[in-house]
Structure 1
Amino acid sequence: MMAKKRVWRSGRRSVATRSVRMTRHLIVCEGKETEPRYFEGLRSALRATDGRKVAVVVRGSGKHTLGLLEYAEEVCRYAPDPFDHVWLVFDKDDFPADEFDRVERECAAASDSACTFHALWSNPCFEVWPLLHLRYTTAPMDAAGCQRALADCLARELGVDYRKNMDGLFELIDPMRRDAEANAARLAKHHKAIGNDRPSSMNPGTRVASIFEELGPYLGGAKK
């Protein structure tokens, strides 16, 4: 199935052409509020720093797991300009483990030399990522517990009352992004050490940090 879907991207540009053009990124979020608002903050920060070199399109889809990939491929198919990277943002929540794990494999299958698909999963929920800006934890939790932990940290550390779908989350926590990246990497090593080798078994865990490997160099704000 994925091999056929790659046809619409092949031959659209050469490597030489891509090297001199603006890098284009599509961020497709499972949710329609919290995650899109966070990544819109990222997009605004890019525009203020080096937006001439990077274009970011953010879509809140309301789709889940594999449906999210199909939606992203459809957006790519009809986009006036091709994307270099497509980032799928989704949570474990109550979805079956095999379906959650499969998205990462399907992203690898959908990728080719023209466009790379990335699975930015979080387990149990997206709030793991902002939580790691403020503290490191290996304690398993459900989504409600993760949101409570984030709210407690924001209130204690920054004097901010957290609520779902809040505006300004990216701007608020981005100065601590280097801490979050280090904590996410430490957490991944923790899971590897105890034999958790699937996204569904890595609670808490997240791959959101990987988008900053591509976009981080164009952003300011994170402390050293």
Structure 2
Amino acid sequence: MVGNKKGWRSGRRSVATRPVQMTRHLIVCEGKETEPRYFEGMKEALGAANGRKVAVVVRGSGKHTLDLFEYAEDYCRYAPDSFNHVWLVFDKDDFPAGDFDLVERKCAAVSSPACKFHALWSNPCFEIWPLLHLRYTTSPMDASDCQKALDDALRREFGVRYRKNMGGLFSLIESRRQGAGTNAVKLIKHHKAIGSNRPSIMNPGTKVTDIFEELGPYIEERAHDGKT
């Protein structure tokens, strides 16, 4: 009995003192302003967790679909430190459907246990992700329609106008992110239920919510500590 107790207690001390292994994340955005500013807002929300539990690097590339994928690969190849996760943020817009769909398959093909590539696509554009913070819709739209819908929703909910490259978007809508994630997953299920299995025809749709499966808990941990 005594020996068992000592072993149990020793085990507890071992777990308690085990260091947290930091994970490194590269976020490569198609746009140079709108998306990077949103994810820089996410970095700020991470607080002390960024640099202690996770390390996040955000880059705006100006590259699109397959060029974005190649940019991310090159960045990883020459970066001084390796990454555990590489997140590609890109839109459908008017780019060829075949190229748009291929990025997701390429990400799966190059992923390994050491480094996983993720295709955070949005169809028709990135603005569908903040829009899902404010309302759910299955209505197909182009980028202009989506931006107008977001502008209308932001004016109604917060009294502000949407504009490309706006700062503060992450903090403005962050309190509704859980609902946005639910809406994004619901949209993907909706498209698959009607036979739309390719990102290029899942309009509207987005996978941006996937990054918060990895990083969201650190933001929520900070919020629960009363530091946001």
Q: Give TM-score scaled by structure 1 length.
A: 0.88
Alpha-carbon distance, 1:49 to partner: 4.7
RMSD, aligned CA: 1.3
Aligned AA for 2:187?
L
The residue type paired with residue 100 of structure 2 is F
Say whether residues 1:205 and 2:205 are aligned partners. Answer: yes
Which one has a bigger Cα radius of gyration?
Answer: 2
Q: How big is the shift at 1:128?
A: 0.3
Moved over 3 A (4+): none
Whether 1:24 aligns to 2:24 is yes
| Residue 21 of structure 1, CA deviation | 3.2
Show the counterpart of 2:3: none
Q: Which residue of 2 aligns with 1:6?
A: none
- For 1:22 and 1:178, the matched residues in 2 are separated by 24
Q: What's the CA shift string for 1:94-118, capped at 9, x where partnerless? A: 0011110000000011111210000
Structure 1 equivalent of residue 93 of structure 2? 93
2:112 matched residue in structure 1: 112
Alpha-carbon distance between aligned partners in 1 of 2:35 and 2:171, rounded to the nearest angstrom: 13
Distance 1:80-1:21 versus aligned 2 partners, 3 A rule: farther
Alpha-carbon distance between aligned partners in 2 of 1:79 and 1:111, rounded to the nearest angstrom: 17
Q: CA 1:20–1:50 in structure 2 vs 1: closer, same or farther (change >3 Å)?
A: closer
Identity of aligned residues (%): 73
Scaled by the length of structure 2, what TM-score is found?
0.87
Structure 2 CA distance for aligned equivalents of residues 134 and 95 of structure 1: 27
Residue aligned with 1:219, SS: helix
Q: Which moved more, 1:109-118 or 1:123-132?
A: 109-118
- The residue that corresponds to 2:178 in the other structure is 178
Q: Contact 1:49 / 1:218 at 8 angstroms: preserved in 2?
A: no
* Residue in structure 2 matched with residue 70 of structure 1 by the alignment: 70
Which stretches in structure 2 are left out of the alignment for 5+ residues? Answer: 1-18
Q: Which residue in 2 is equivalent to 1:122?
A: 122
State the number of aligned residues: 203
Give 1:84's aligned residue.
84
Q: Hey, what's the Cα distance between the residues in 1 that align with 2:100 and 2:91?
A: 8
